A = this chain, B = another copy of it.
Amino acid sequence: MTGASMTVETISRHRCFGGIQGIHRHVSAETGTPMRFSVFVPPQAEHGPVPVLWFLSGLTCTEENFTVKAGAQRVAAELGLMLVAPDTSPRGDGVPDDPQGAYDFGLGAGFYVDAVQDPWARHYRMYSYITRELPQVLASAFPVDRTRQGISGHSMGGHGALTIALKNPGRFRSVSAFAPIAAPMACPWGEKALGRYLGPDRRDWRAYDACALIEDGHRLEALLVDQGGADQFLETQLRPDLLEAACAGAGIPLTLRRQPGYDHSYYFIASFMEDHLRWHAARLTERG
């Protein structure tokens, strides 16, 4: 990484529930583009490093959706959690997009993978960006306790949270997801994205599929998932049934809550955000 990538520019900064909600920008060495991310710093950070919850967003989102719509800052301020919400893909001139401009691939749809196929491989390195570069950038600029990290996300970002946690054992003390794409190898969104970013050999896709990772021996200590019962993508794209089976087969304690009447929107996320934040905080503030 070059030194330039550690320079963080603050785009906006607002007092919020006694803490500070900011939007920041830096030049990413991984994606080769400027990248934005959102950070909520709780009031407790005035007294020392605080635990951090990463929230990965879904298709079409930027760092702003979670920040504006999830209503997470209130409880994070109470619990002393830093919240970090990255963007969902590289952006800018020279970053290739879906040739048809579809919403489910390319811009806003990085799927948290390191692409290996051209023309995607150069910029679409969201896995390394989220797991390696951004944590260093964050720690360089914010009072984060890197020994106490949790991760969550929504839809494509739920897929990101699950796969990143599974692939980085010991890094995240707490993992949850809202309506995750739980088995991308078994749904149209995932088949399209993994096929284009990674190529036609489906064996290469297993490194980015939560269910396949579990089948291949990766483990989580516990997992909380909320899934709306009226989610239009439930049966075709999300497949919590496959995650449930994979966790059962591997002995992973999964708390899967099916919430009748809730859809795929941020109104669903906001409704259950407090439960997730308290679930993470309980694990992030344990001694050990």
Binding site for B on A (CB under 8 A): 14-18, 21, 68-69, 71, 73-74, 228, 230, 261-263, 265-268, 270-271, 274
Given A73-B270, A270-B73, answer yes or no on A263-B68 (Cβ-Cβ < 8 Å).
Answer: no
Q: Specify which chain B residues have a CB less than 8 angstroms from the CB of A69 in the assembled complex.
A: 68-69
Q: Specify which chain B residues have a CB less than 8 angstroms from the CB of A74 in the assembled complex.
A: 71, 270-271, 274
Q: Specify which chain B residues have a CB less than 8 angstroms from the CB of A230 in the assembled complex.
A: 15
A71-B270, A73-B270 given; name 20 further pairs at CB < 8 Å.
Answer: A14-B265, A14-B267, A15-B228, A15-B230, A15-B261, A15-B263, A15-B271, A16-B267, A16-B268, A16-B270, A17-B270, A17-B271, A18-B271, A21-B267, A68-B69, A68-B266, A69-B69, A71-B71, A71-B74, A74-B271
Q: Specify which chain B residues have a CB less than 8 angstroms from the CB of A228 in the assembled complex.
A: 15
> Shortest Cβ distance from A226 into chain B, in angstroms?
12
User: In the complex, are the beta carbons of A263 and B14 less than 8 A apart?
Assistant: yes
- Distance of A68 Cα from B71 Cα, bound (Å): 9
Q: Which 5 A/B pairs are nearest by Cβ-Cβ distance? A: A16-B267, A71-B71, A14-B267, A15-B261, A15-B262
- Distance of A16 Cα from B228 Cα, bound (Å): 11
Q: Specify which chain B residues have a CB less than 8 angstroms from the CB of A261 in the assembled complex.
A: 15
Q: Which residue of B lies closest to A18 (CB)?
A: B271
Contact check: which of B16, B262, B270 meets A271 at CB < 8 Å? B16
Q: Specify which chain B residues have a CB less than 8 angstroms from the CB of A73 in the assembled complex.
A: 267, 270
- Distance of A135 Cα from B265 Cα, bound (Å): 28
User: In the complex, are the beta carbons of B68 and A14 less than 8 A apart?
Assistant: no
- Distance of A16 Cα from B71 Cα, bound (Å): 12
10 cross-chain CB contacts under 8 A = A14-B267, A14-B268, A15-B228, A15-B230, A15-B261, A17-B270, A18-B271, A69-B69, A71-B71, A74-B274
- Distance of A268 Cα from B71 Cα, bound (Å): 13
Q: Specify which chain B residues have a CB less than 8 angstroms from the CB of A265 in the assembled complex.
A: 14
- Distance of A152 Cα from B64 Cα, bound (Å): 26
User: In the complex, are the beta carbons of B15 and A267 less than 8 A apart?
Assistant: yes
> Shortest Cβ distance from A189 into chain B, in angstroms?
21
Q: Specify which chain B residues have a CB less than 8 angstroms from the CB of A274 in the assembled complex.
A: 74
Q: Which residue of B lies closest to A69 (CB)?
A: B68
- Distance of A113 Cα from B68 Cα, bound (Å): 30
Q: Specify which chain B residues have a CB less than 8 angstroms from the CB of A262 in the assembled complex.
A: 15
> Shortest Cβ distance from A266 into chain B, in angstroms?
7
Q: Specify which chain B residues have a CB less than 8 angstroms from the CB of A270 in the assembled complex.
A: 16-17, 71, 73-74
